[in-house]
Structures are given as structure tokens and as C-alpha cells.
Structure 1
Amino acid sequence: MAIPGYDSGNVAEFALERAGARAEVVAGVVPDEFGLERSGRDPTATALADAVEFVGLEELRAVDAFRIELVYDPSALPPGASPTDVGIAVETDDGWERLESTVDLEATTVSATLGGRPSGSTIVAIYDGTGES
């Protein structure tokens, strides 16, 4: 996993392998407390995996780039659903917001690259059937 356009020496990497989640961050300040853990929240009904929580997200400062990668379960897709309609959603105060996402069909992962910090700390791989990645 890499954030395009950034030297790997400037990227802080985090993984929660048992939940199939990875994050990469380019920021002026990445606190020691920052990381990933399984979320205790119930994910959206269209979730294809357990929700994951960013710990210490609010403490990140001067974020230039943020990349999230989640493993999804293709067997959880509805019958006839296209895996290209899988995306990452982040929980905000207004509900779940789908991020512009890219699907790797071979690795069964979905990723999103942001130009800053996500708008919420809970993320999940979802199927929404809109055809928008």
C-alpha cells in the first residue's frame, strides 16, 4: 500500500491485520496514540466487514494525505451485486458518508485516498449498489 506522490519515508503506516484494515498517513504530527482498533459500533446494514475505529484521529496535525484500505468479504455481497460497487464509508454526525473508493478485485480490498483527515473515526467497507466508486 502506498500513497501516490509521497516518499515512503514520510508515510506513517498502521495496520490491524485481524480486521483487515490498514492506514497510511502523511502529517506534520502523528501522535504515538494514533492507530486502528475494532469498533464496538454496529456498522451500516450494507457493511461487508466489521467496522474499524481510528484511535487518536483528532490529534493528527497538518495532514497532507490519508489512505485507508479495508478487506471486504465478497460472499457478503447481495446476489447479482457487482464488487465494483464496494466502497469505504465513514460514520459522521449525519450518518454514513461514502468516500471515493477504488476496489482491488484480486485482493478483495477497497481503498480511499484523502487529502486530509477523514470526517469521522469509524469506517467500514460497504456495498451501496450506486455504481459510484
Structure 2
Amino acid sequence: MAIPGYDSGDVAEYTLDRAGARAEVVAGVVPDAFGLDRSARDPTATALADSIELVGLEELRAVEAFRIELVYDPSALPPGASPTDVAIAVDDGDGWTRLESTVDLEETTVSATLGDRPPGTTIVAVYAGGDAGEE
């Protein structure tokens, strides 16, 4: 995983292997407290994996780029759903917001690259087909 346009030496990388989650950050200040953890909250009904918490997100300063990658379970897709209809969703406090995402069918991962921090701390891979992707 790499953030296009950034030197790898400028990118802080975090993984939560047991949950299949990765994050990369380019920021002026990345605190030691930043990282990934399993979320204690239930994910949205359209979730294709467990939800993840971005720990210490509010302490990031001068964020230039933020990339999230999550493994998802393709067998959890509804019958007839396209395997490309997967996205990362963030709980922004008012509900789940889908991020523009890219699916890697071979690796069964979904990723999103942002120019700032995400609008919330809880993230999950969701089925994004039709109207079922947001709650």
C-alpha cells in the first residue's frame, strides 16, 4: 500500500493485522498515540467486516494525505451483488458516510485516500450497491 505522490520516508504506516486494517498518514504531527484498534461498537448492517477505530485521530496536525485499507469478506455480500460494490464507510456522528473507494478483487481489500483526516474515528468496509450502503 502506498500513497501516490509521497516519498515512503514521509509516510507513517500503521497496521492491525488481526483485523486486516492498514492506515498511512502524511502529516506535520503524528502523535505516538495514533493507531488502529478493533472497535467495540457494532458496525452498520451492510458491513463486510468488523469495524475499526482510528485511535488518536484528533491529535493529527497538518494532514496532507490519509489512506485507509481494509480487508473485507466477499462471502458477506448480498446475493447477486457485484464484488466491486464495496466501499469504506466512516461514522461521522450523524451516520455512516461512504468514502470514494477502490476495490482490489484479488486481495479482497478496499481502500480510500483522503487529503485530510476522515470525518470520524470508526471505519468499516461496507456493501455500497444501490441504496443499502449508507445508514
The TM-score with structure 1 as length reference comes to: 0.97
- Structure 1 residue 55 corresponds to structure 2 residue 45: no
Shift of residue 113, structure 1, vs aligned partner: 0.1
1:106-117 equivalence runs, <5 A: 106-117=106-117
Corresponding residue number in structure 1 for 2:78: 78
Q: Secondary structure at the match of 2:84?
A: helix
The code of the aligned residue for 1:5 comes to: G
Please give the root-mean-square deviation of Cα atoms over the aligned residues, in Å.
Answer: 1.2
The one-letter code sitting in structure 1 at the alignment partner of 2:50 is: D
Paired residues in the alignment total 132
Q: What is residue 94 of structure 1 aligned with on the other side? A: 94
Stretches of structure 2 that go unaligned for 5 or more consecutive residues are: none
Match of 1:64 in 2: 64
Percent of aligned pairs with the same amino acid: 81
| Unaligned ranges ≥5, structure 1 | none
1:128 CA displacement = 2.3
Q: Give distance in 2, aligned partners of 1:118 and 1:58.
A: 10
Q: Does 1:123 align with 2:119?
A: no
In structure 1, the residue corresponding to 2:63 is in which secondary structure?
strand
Alpha-carbon separation, structure 1, partners of 2:124 and 2:3 = 20
Structure 2-normalised TM-score? 0.96
Cα shift at 1:94: 1.1
